[in-house]
Structure 1
């Protein structure tokens, strides 16, 4: 019975002070909406950044890292003359020994969804006196497309035209523009080993990244091996995708037991980019949370003012048998009502903002603005907004519960 009376008193305070109630709810609305919007924006940018990474990089890559030369003598004996050399990268081949066997072992692992081999070489694209420096990638284009969906970024030609075509090449849009080349034109490509070939352009891609589009090209594996003057067993890198990209570091440790070669996860490769995403997410989260806390202080001030104005009523309630816990329930109930109203409207308003931004076309490979609905963020915004309003209501309520009715009524 007393519980229903407590709620009735709380409803009475809410409806008799409509303006203050709406102001408090509006503060929560703005805070929750901005919190939801900014964190959705941060999540969208992070997802877009991750998609950009995975356009041409796998979750895991296996390669033979550079070796540093060592002194020819290294003795602590004072009677021994040490031969001192300047440590530098050795000229040993960077090829993976028996790569096909290693590729087969990698594919057998239950957490690997796809794996391919690749040959990388430094390339120089020439037309007349013009030259563009870049990187050539020798791949099985069909398998490469299955992993990276390269066909999605093709603006001319088709990836299938490269399959089995040792005289074909697919180049980035930036290379084509710099050398004024188009589909089916010939391009002279030379390598750092002094090998030069004239290849026919069978495709042009545009990933939206100038670093990639201005330098990268794809040829057949056998063609890349010829550029490096290597045999058919020469492979430089193995790429692998896993069931869970976020858990790739665990898979790296497991794969390391299969081979002595360097195994690197995408989080290590893009550590600087991930750090930037984390800083941006933290900054946006801090700003939006600060706005939500300001809204909480608004509710605190309104309820604190209500306690001051209703101090006589509170004293009468306690004199007629209401406990301090009942007084706390009354004012916390008011805070919950304001919080529920403001949080619900805030979620709706935030959803509208997200929907508007998601339909803004940015253009290029980006397409529409990188923001989207995330259920976990909606739930997080709802409970966080409600938690802050409950805390904002509890402290004035606790103050009211300690009112001495005798002292107040004597005034």
Structure 2
């Protein structure tokens, strides 16, 4: 397997630091893992802009050496960074920022990417330069290993059949030419095998479109009314990950399926990976990850992750449950009040998505779709927290202001179930929780 082509984008004011980084990458170069390139490699007589463009287009991995001079360089930002991010978005290359010097980079176009070293701490905050660059090199070795593990080696006429031990990844443009008929015939003779569908998608549409196709097929099967068809969705999502291990969407979907299958540990693994790969992650990624921590009884971790989600009422309401389980009705009340404020925005995105709940008693499934039902649920929970905190008069007043519809049985059932699962596991809250359920949530 050829070394990964590594392109280093930097401002010339940082040339000495770039040279130091290259020294720390020498061992990986000797091992044949990487082939670094930077503009100091341009020899006399060559057009420098053309050489930079050619090497940037060929790169598998692009390193951005971030400093105030990098941010101040029109060429770095408008030419190299712009094209690097385009290739990253197209999954043709991986872009990794390395924070060399302290500067205002957090709002830059690359800020959503995972920066090195950990937490984006610049060189000046490390004990020595060697400590800094050694940590960067170790992280880059891990990334290089991931990229190499997902590369496919296919010649211009070769076909990665189902019995060949080839790892999918980043095929060269045109490397699948001439394989359409072979893939179609394999699919015809093996219609139910994911390997055939995987190869078919790769051969016909190429790497990027192939992953999209596998995700779409998985989604189609997931929504199929037949359970045996839904079970096959996992194969397609796993196929997409074999093609691109950095596909956050596939990890998220596998997390959902694992959760529905009653495997929270597997769901947690997939959700964590989805959040790591998609920065910033969508609210539902964080919400589902936090929910798995909640389900596993890691309440502090659940609260911490729910706290990262802005403008998402369900996350605040779930965080409140974790506070109940920790015997903290006041922070729970604060989370619920925040959710109620967010729910007042009638055009908010969360109104388009149903909220799903499954009660512990018999596994009753409840779905809240209407805005008024969601507000009712949030206000009932808020009143419960007031009652748990000993504020019975305030709780009674809050119950008069819930605005619940005449038939609020489902919302009451969900809050009653939440209290039993979380508040009633805490001895100091148990009696008050039971009293609130009997007084306000029992069916008439």
The answer to whether TM tops 0.5 is no
Q: Tell me which protein shows more helix as a share of its residues.
A: 2
Which protein is richer in strand relative to its size? Answer: 1
Q: TM-score, normalised by structure 2?
A: 0.17
- Of structures 1 and 2, the larger Rg is shown by 1
Q: TM-score, normalised by structure 1?
A: 0.18
Higher RCO, 1 or 2 (CA under 8 Å, sep at least 6)?
A: 1
